[in-house]
Amino acid sequence: MTTSIPQYPPLENGDRLTRPEFERRYTANPYVQKAELIEGIVYVASPLRFQQHAEPHSRLHGWLWTYQVSTPGLLLGIEPTVRLDLDNEPQPDIVLILEEAAGGGARLTEEGYLEGVPELVVEIAASSAAIDLGGKQRAYRRNGVREYIVWQSFEQRLDWFELVEGDYQPLMSDRDRIIRSRQFPGLWLAVDALLNNQMIQVLQVLQQGIASPEHAAFVEQLGSRRLR
């Protein structure tokens, strides 16, 4: 006796699907390397260029990894599948989240996916016309992602947004062009140094943030939450 195997249509750009149907088609089409469901519409990723995506991605990940290893109670991931809601299942370039035991808004499912709301999402956008500043931004805002970083590699511009009363407002840099996270105390970014690939300076400024009293208090707070 033979068992019939369900056949699903291919996953293509512009398909309008529910999240369960999106997952079924994604799983059934292993040749698709990366696809996202944003506001109910499927986006299949194109091949990624080195200078426009891979290199900026590595710089931001190195900066965040340095912070994460100095801050117990945090998790850092590259391109995880995130089940935000029934119309949105993105794969952000990077997420930084609180552990569930420390009060984080996202949890790991039995299948190993993230479900819920990451505290910080990072996207590398080729230009200001990318979906990262359109449908994705709306979805992240509506679901309550606290901070959102978008690096527009063509324009050499980085925007860091924070959620304020339900809307994204830019986190402004100080006179030294340093942006300081509100969600993650001590997470400091020397914007110009990052854009110009001066990573030693980026990490030096970050280490100043990690050595700050605010970061020490945050680490103590996270430790107390995890012991409850």
DSSP string, 90-148: ---SEEEEE-GGGT-SEEE-TTS-EEE--SEEEEEESSTTSGGGTHHHHHHHHHT-SEE
**Residue 132 confidence (pLDDT) above 70:** yes
- Report the mean per-residue pLDDT for the chain: 91
Q: Say what the pLDDT of residue 97 is.
A: 97
C-alpha span between 194 and 217 (Å, rounded)? 27
Q: Say what the pLDDT of residue 6 is.
A: 55
Contacts of residue 1, defined as CB under 8 A and 6 or more positions apart, other chains included, come to: none
pLDDT band at 129 (very low <50, low <70, confident <90, very high): low
Domain spans, the chain? 10-47, 48-227
Q: Which residue bears the tokens 């959102």?
A: 148
pLDDT band at 1 (very low <50, low <70, confident <90, very high): very low
DSSP element (H, E) containing 26: helix 19-28
Mean pLDDT of the 96-124 span: 94
Q: Which CATH class is domain 48-227?
A: alpha beta
Half-sphere exposure of 11 (CA within 13 A, CB side): 26
Backbone angles phi, psi at 133, to 5 degrees: -105, 10
pLDDT in tens, 166-211: 999 999 999 999 999 999 999 999 999 999 999 999 999 999 999 9
Q: Say what the pLDDT of residue 144 is.
A: 97
pLDDT in tens, 147-174: 999 999 888 999 999 999 999 999 999 9
pLDDT in tens, 56-67: 999 999 999 999
**Residue 106 confidence (pLDDT) above 70:** yes
Q: Say what the pLDDT of residue 3 is.
A: 47
pLDDT band at 83 (very low <50, low <70, confident <90, very high): very high
**Residue 4 confidence (pLDDT) above 60:** no
Question: For the whole model, what pTM was predicted?
Answer: 0.90
C-alpha span between 61 and 96 (Å, rounded)? 10
Tokens of 96: 């930084």
Highest mean pLDDT pick, 22-31, 119-128, 142-151: 142-151
